[in-house]
Amino acid sequence: MSLGYRIAGYEFSPTEVRDLLVAWLALGVAFAIFFAGGGPQTAALVGLPLVILLVVSLLTAGVAFLLHEVAHKVVAVRYDQIAEFRADYSMLFLAIMSALLGFIFAAPGAVHHQGYLTEKQHGHIAIAGPVTNLILAAVFVPVYFAGVTVGVDLLGTLGRFGIIINLFLAAFNLVPFGPLDGKTVIGWSKPVWLGTFLLSVLLTIGSVLTLGLSFRI
């Protein structure tokens, strides 16, 4: 009998669920601090503004990271791999500390899998995360326009940050360096990597220039 959780047909162990939730919450806090400008500026936000800031962070940055990692797991399992996410608690701590200093460095953990895979399958698993972020960015587009249309700054802010953060994560993770997804994707298919990377970078730059990074509630 399984001691884990079955979600949408996929098995998640109690440890994996815990790590996913901890990573989601820690990144939510880190990005909330970052959105506020870090340090004393964050401390000045009390009550409802701080709660709203955290909720926006959890629904944008937190969800972006969470579903990025889950996408890696889903594709790995489809290739008959034993795959689980493990949080890197030291890096989560670093994310919060860096946010307090006014910048953000987030590497919440990774999906570890075992079993035989071809180079193509490795590439599919790697690119699943960035592609998920591109899809999520598209999902936040109508949220942003709904906020602009009805004149609700909070909804517009949620959509704006959802778009920008997901596009940035897609572009950043496709950099072909170290443990990032780009190195594995480029090892499988240079044309696929180049097309996806350039699209992500151009959309990220365009979204920042067009939408801006100010936080309004």
Q: Are residues 130 and 188 in the same domain?
A: yes
pLDDT in tens, 44-102: 555 557 788 889 999 999 999 999 999 999 999 999 998 999 999 999 999 999 888 88
Q: Count the domains in the chain.
A: 2
CA 130 to chain CA mean position, Å: 9
93 within a domain of the structure (yes/no): yes
Tokens of 103: 């910048």
pLDDT in tens, 193-207: 999 999 999 999 999
Question: Which of the listed residues 84, 112, 140 is the one where a domain comes to its end?
Answer: 112
Tokens of 58: 């959890």
34 within a domain of the structure (yes/no): yes
* Percent of the chain's residues with pLDDT above 70: 91
- Distance CA(199)–CA(195), nearest Å, equals 6
Question: Which of the listed residues 112, 139, 163 is the one where a domain comes to its end?
Answer: 112
Listed residue (96, 123, 112) closest to 185, CA to CA: 123
- Write down the pLDDT at residue 6: 81
Which residues are identified as catalytic? 69
- Distance CA(71)–CA(35), nearest Å, equals 26
Q: Are residues 149 and 169 in the same domain?
A: yes
The domain in which residue 199 lies consists of: 120-217
Q: Are residues 30 and 86 in the same domain?
A: yes
7 within a domain of the structure (yes/no): no
5 within a domain of the structure (yes/no): no
Q: Are residues 174 and 104 in the same domain?
A: no
- Distance CA(107)–CA(88), nearest Å, equals 8
Question: Which of the listed residues 52, 78, 112 is the one where a domain comes to its end?
Answer: 112
4 within a domain of the structure (yes/no): no
202 within a domain of the structure (yes/no): yes
